[in-house]
Structure 1
Amino acid sequence: MMRRLLLPALLTLAAAACSPRKTVGYGGEIIPVTDTILRTGGSDTIRFGRMHEGEIAAKRIVFDNRSPRSFVVTSYEVSCHCTELAFDNQPVIPGEGLRATVTFDARGERGWQMKLMKVYFSGSREPLRLFIEADVE
């Protein structure tokens, strides 16, 4: 009887130990922030997919700290006022994540759109470049 109870528990623990680390409970698209990104910058893409002209869409993202040091999002810049980043300005310790929301406003936009958002972290020289992509009908 003990073996029947113990075997499923051991298999579950082994599967969890072998699977790659996941950010659980944050919700949203994960943007890894590594030590390299904090030192030299990097880039990623957030895809909104197909939208209608005039629609405003928001996407949850998580800046997942995969660096051995803490960071803070200090500021951001956008290439167009149709994009916005909302976040809490709090330190993110290694292994934790910072929830944020990226908003894209398709009012006045038509066709394929590619916008640039630069996110600056404490202690970094170069920003993380987030390319915001949408196809507006």
Structure 2
Amino acid sequence: MGQNKIVCIILVLAIFLLGGCHSGASKKQKMPVKNNTQVTFEKTSHVFGKVIGGETVGCYFGFTNTGKYPLLINKVDPGCGCTSVKYPQEPVLPGQKAEIEVRFDSSGFSGYQYKVIQVYANIEDKMKELVVSANVIN
């Protein structure tokens, strides 16, 4: 009976220790921003035109923080695995310009393609949409 108690105690301790490993406490999270700002994009859509199947094409969406507070881009969702993005990880201060790079891999696609990229930030609408399109020729 003493061995059963020891085994139970070890199991309970193991459960607590393993549960603590997956608490997510070590993940770096951005602090919520109370002050919304404004952003002005130079353009919100880009047409690649004719693209040969398998080709990867890219463009940049330039923007300016036109508000009073630092702009924090929380996330840029490319919407699909064929589209990748790079965006500023640091705050964009009022008056500063920056850009979001968008790359579209046309592998496996044919015909007209329309991709929506969602930009989440501390702006009035919380989210801004950017669009890229291409006509993939095989």
Q: Provide the rounded CA distance (Å) in 2 between the counterparts of 1:108 and 1:53.
A: 7
Spell out structure 1 runs of 4+ moving beyond 4 A. Answer: none
Query: Quick one: percent identity of the two aligned structures?
Result: 26
Does structure 1 residue 122 correspond to structure 2 residue 135? no
- 1:22 is matched with which residue? none
Report the Cα offset of residue 58 of structure 1: 1.5
Which structure 1 residue ranges, 5 or more long, are not aligned? 1-33
Does structure 1 residue 112 correspond to structure 2 residue 105? no
Query: Which structure is larger by alpha-carbon Rg, 1 or 2?
Result: 2
Kindly provide the CA deviation profile for residues 70-128 of structure 1, in whole angstroms up to 9, marking residues without a partner as x.
20111022322111111230111121111331101100111111011111013555311
- TM-score w.r.t. the length of structure 2 is 0.62
Q: Provide the rounded CA distance (Å) in 1 between the counterparts of 2:78 and 2:100.
A: 15
User: Quick check: 2:76–2:87 contact (8 Å CA) kept in 1?
Assistant: no
Q: Provide the rounded CA distance (Å) in 2 between the counterparts of 1:102 and 1:57.
A: 8
Which structure 2 residue ranges, 5 or more long, are not aligned? 1-36
Structure with the bigger RCO (C-alpha within 8 Å, sep 6+) is 1
- TM-score w.r.t. the length of structure 1 is 0.63
| Change over 3 Å in CA distance of 1:105–1:121 after alignment to 2 | same
- 1:103 is matched with which residue? 103
- 1:12 is matched with which residue? none
Aligned length: 99
Q: Provide the rounded CA distance (Å) in 2 between the counterparts of 1:95 and 1:51.
A: 36
